[in-house]
């Protein structure tokens, strides 16, 4: 007996009095919700992903979208999603894929941390009238200053290794050309150049269009080594080895062949239309020593002129792993929390594997500090950072800087519909279909992303000023500026944060 289909999730309707049949909804919906029959717009709500493209393009605000009420018998354990997943897997026998970040209702630790503000005894600082320093250097730092004294003159003998200079501690994380479209990537590249920060290229190589912004790009090496040659390494301002990703720790990446158009094929150095599989293990890294060798090899290849980062997913023993990475000549450890986004991940991974970034930052920061090497290596945090409050809290927990991913995509139009893996993104972001890709104007996109970074930077300045801080160094790892609200003692101990009222 057939299991049939599961009920539709969203119900689309059109206010026919308002509708002027301009057909923009038909043209804009890449999922095929709308079609024309006999001069009438017909709706197939089953195909809707709630991407909101039609709504945002409708000139008459005639389209309404509602989440459909649950029409199963309600049950606290057998939720609608649990039942539908079983039904779908009973029908297909496949792994369920999902896009974007973890969609399980875990408590968000960021929302249970509160920041400090000055009152009488300690004046708050007005960032509009006083200097506020957000400049951040990412890379190795000396443990102490070495110098010689000649007749009272101090001669520095310490030589700094190359660091990335950020005007704001906000970077845009690695989203490869292939996973996202070229105009989307180009928008981000232009935005980071405008705001004095950096973006990750992802593992997809570097397209020629990004070359003008290469000084603001961090090139990535995943296990597939796609697009990697000496030219690619030399173009990056820094190099990042991707070991793990927050949305899918322990498994690799997979770009379906349908997304490998001619341009992607050329940039990635893979055959046209072939699947690009980047498995979890790097086949030259089976130990921390192997990782150290790769770090040094990359430095050697680029004349020790570029910082090398190592990205790992936040998992149970993340602090010890990060401490090992810190001692491997790596200049920064990137930690990606389990709310990090992705183009496609098995849903079971996305929703169940890894740990929240807040706990991971604090644990790594504390471990490195216990070992007396915290300032010698940078920590970059990513995975579910939604606003400048999350940013400030990340830094107070110990991050040097953050990567944003989903937030940058939302600035480009993404409505977090979670269907990135289908390659039909109606906003032209997670797709390579020419007719969809052209929906992003890189100039407009760049301005939107730059506005976002600029807005968060202003807010971070205000938050710091309110806390009486005028230098980002003094917020980094400053747990005194945080209090936990309704967090259990075990987690407070990991975060090294006191409870509200303390």
Partner 1 sequence: MCGIIGVIDRTMSRMDGSSIKEALSLMDERGSGEGAGYVAYGIYPDYADCYAIHVFFDNLLEPKTRVDEILKQWGRIVHQEEIPTYEQPGLKKEHISWRYFFKPYTDLMIGTTDPDDDNVKHLVMHVNANIEGALIFSSGKNLGVFKAAGWPEDVANYFRIEDYKGYIWLAHNRYPTNTSGWWGGAHPFNLLDWSVVHNGEITSYGTNRRYVEGHGYQCTMLTDTEVVAYLFDLLGRRHGLPSEMVVEALAPPFWDEIDKMPPKEEEFMRTMRLTYGPALMNGPFAIVVATKDGIVGFTDRIKLRPLIVGENGSKLYLSSEEAAIRTMDPEVEKIYMPRAGEPVIGRVTE
Which positions touch partner 1 (CB under 8 A)? 118, 120-123, 125, 130-131, 133, 135, 137, 141-145, 154, 156, 158, 160, 163, 369-375, 396, 467-471, 473-481
Q: Which is nearer to partner 1, 121 or 489 (CB)?
A: 121
CA distance 59 to 267: 38
At its nearest, how many Å lie between partner 1 and the CB of residue 127?
12
CA distance 138 to 160: 12
The DSSP string of 77-121 is SS-HHHHHHHHHHHHH-SPPEE-SS--S----GGGGEEE----SS
CA distance 366 to 392: 18
Three-state secondary structure call for residue 211:
helix
At its nearest, how many Å lie between partner 1 and the CB of residue 117?
11
Whether the CB-CB separation of 381 and 170 falls below 8 Å is answered with no
CA distance 267 to 128: 44
At its nearest, how many Å lie between partner 1 and the CB of residue 334?
19
Closest listed residue to residue 108, CA positions, set 384, 402, 313, 500: 384
Q: Which is nearer to partner 1, 322 or 437 (CB)?
A: 322
At its nearest, how many Å lie between partner 1 and the CB of residue 501?
14
At its nearest, how many Å lie between partner 1 and the CB of residue 140?
9
Tokens found for residue 90? 């009973």
Q: Which is nearer to partner 1, 294 or 475 (CB)?
A: 475
Which phi and psi (to 5°) does residue 468 adopt? 75, 25
67-72, long-range: CB < 8 A, 24+ apart: 67/9, 67/10, 67/11, 68/7, 68/8, 68/9, 68/10, 68/11, 71/7, 72/7
Q: Which is nearer to partner 1, 18 or 122 (CB)?
A: 122
Q: Which is nearer to partner 1, 33 or 132 (CB)?
A: 132
At its nearest, how many Å lie between partner 1 and the CB of residue 17?
59
Q: Which is nearer to partner 1, 121 or 287 (CB)?
A: 121
Torsion-angle region of 354 (φ positive above 0: left; ψ -120 to 50: alpha; else: beta): left
CA distance 268 to 205: 5
At its nearest, how many Å lie between partner 1 and the CB of residue 266?
39
Q: Which is nearer to partner 1, 4 or 131 (CB)?
A: 131
Q: Which is nearer to partner 1, 15 or 130 (CB)?
A: 130
Q: Which is nearer to partner 1, 132 or 437 (CB)?
A: 132
Tokens found for residue 356? 């929240």
Query: In whole angstroms, how far apart are CA 441 and each of 59, 202, 214, 246, 346?
Result: 20, 21, 20, 30, 31
Q: Which is nearer to partner 1, 76 or 131 (CB)?
A: 131
At its nearest, how many Å lie between partner 1 and the CB of residue 121?
4
Q: Which is nearer to partner 1, 2 or 121 (CB)?
A: 121
Which phi and psi (to 5°) does residue 219 adopt? -85, 150
Q: Which is nearer to partner 1, 100 or 482 (CB)?
A: 482
CA distance 46 to 89: 19
**Longest pairwise C-alpha distance within the chain:** 94
At its nearest, how many Å lie between partner 1 and the CB of residue 133?
6
Q: Which is nearer to partner 1, 231 or 480 (CB)?
A: 480
At its nearest, how many Å lie between partner 1 and the CB of residue 143?
8
Closest listed residue to residue 16, CA positions, set 49, 48, 52, 41: 41
At its nearest, how many Å lie between partner 1 and the CB of residue 152?
10
CA distance 336 to 402: 10
At its nearest, how many Å lie between partner 1 and the CB of residue 364?
13
Tokens found for residue 132? 């506020």
At its nearest, how many Å lie between partner 1 and the CB of residue 139?
8
First to last CA, the chain: 62
398-401, long-range: CB < 8 A, 24+ apart: 398/361, 398/362, 398/364, 398/365, 398/366, 398/374, 398/476, 398/477, 399/169, 399/361, 399/365, 399/476, 400/136, 400/138, 400/169, 400/332, 400/476, 401/136, 401/138, 401/166, 401/169, 401/170, 401/171
């Amino acid at each position: 007996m057939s299991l049939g289909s599961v009920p539709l999730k969203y119900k689309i309707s059109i206010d026919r009095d308002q509708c002027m049949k301009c057909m923009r909804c038909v043209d804009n919906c890449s999922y095929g919700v709308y079609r024309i029959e006999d001069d009438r717009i017909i709706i197939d709500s089953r195909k809707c992903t709630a991407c909101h493209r039609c709504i945002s393009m409708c000139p008459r605000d005639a389209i309404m979208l509602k989440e459909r009420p649950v029409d199963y018998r309600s049950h606290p354990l057998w939720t609608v999603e649990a039942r539908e997943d079983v039904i779908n897997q009973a029908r297909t026998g496949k792994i369920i894929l999902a896009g974007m970040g973890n969609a399980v209702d875990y408590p968000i630790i960021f929302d249970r941390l509160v920041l400090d503000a000055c009152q009488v005894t300690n004046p708050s600082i007005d960032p509009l009238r006083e200097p506020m320093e957000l400049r951040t250097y990412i890379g190795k730092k000396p443990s102490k200053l070495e110098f010689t004294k000649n007749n009272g003159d101090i001669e520095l003998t310490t030589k700094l290794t190359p660091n990335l200079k950020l005007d704001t501690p906000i970077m845009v994380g690695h989203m490869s050309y292939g996973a996202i479209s070229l105009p989307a990537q180009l928008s981000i590249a232009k935005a980071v150049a405008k705001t004095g920060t950096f973006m990750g290229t992802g593992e997809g190589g570097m397209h020629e269009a990004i070359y003008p912004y290469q000084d603001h790009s961090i090139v990535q090496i995943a296990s597939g080594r796609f697009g990697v040659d000496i030219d690619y390494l030399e173009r990056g301002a820094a190099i990042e080895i991707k070991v793990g990703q927050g949305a899918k720790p322990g498994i690799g990446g997979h770009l379906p062949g349908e997304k490998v158009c001619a341009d992607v094929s050329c940039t990635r150095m893979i055959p046209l239309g072939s699947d690009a599989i980047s498995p979890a293990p790097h086949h030259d890294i089976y130990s921390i020593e192997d990782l150290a060798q790769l770090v040094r090899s990359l430095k050697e290849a680029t004349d020790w002129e570029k910082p090398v980062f190592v990205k790992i997913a936040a998992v149970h023993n993340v602090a010890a792993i990060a401490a090992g990475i810190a001692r491997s000549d790596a200049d920064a450890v990137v930690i990606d929390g389990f709310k990090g986004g992705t183009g496609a991940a098995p849903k079971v991974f996305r929703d169940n594997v890894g740990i929240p970034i807040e706990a991971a930052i604090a644990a790594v920061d504390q471990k490195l500090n216990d070992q007396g090497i915290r300032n010698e290596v940078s920590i970059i945090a990513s995975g579910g950072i939604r606003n400048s409050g999350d940013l400030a809290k990340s830094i107070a927990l110990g991050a040097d800087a953050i990567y944003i991913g989903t937030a940058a995509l939302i600035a480009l139009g993404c409505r977090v519909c979670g269907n990135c893996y289908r390659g039909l993104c109606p906003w032209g972001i997670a797709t390579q279909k020419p007719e969809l890709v052209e929906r992003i104007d890189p100039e407009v996109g760049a301005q939107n992303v730059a506005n976002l970074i600029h807005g968060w930077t202003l807010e971070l300045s205000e938050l710091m000023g309110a806390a009486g801080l005028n230098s980002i160094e003094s917020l980094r790892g400053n747990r005194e500026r945080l209090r936990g609200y309704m967090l259990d003692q075990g987690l407070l101990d990991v975060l090294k944060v006191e409870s509200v009222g303390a």
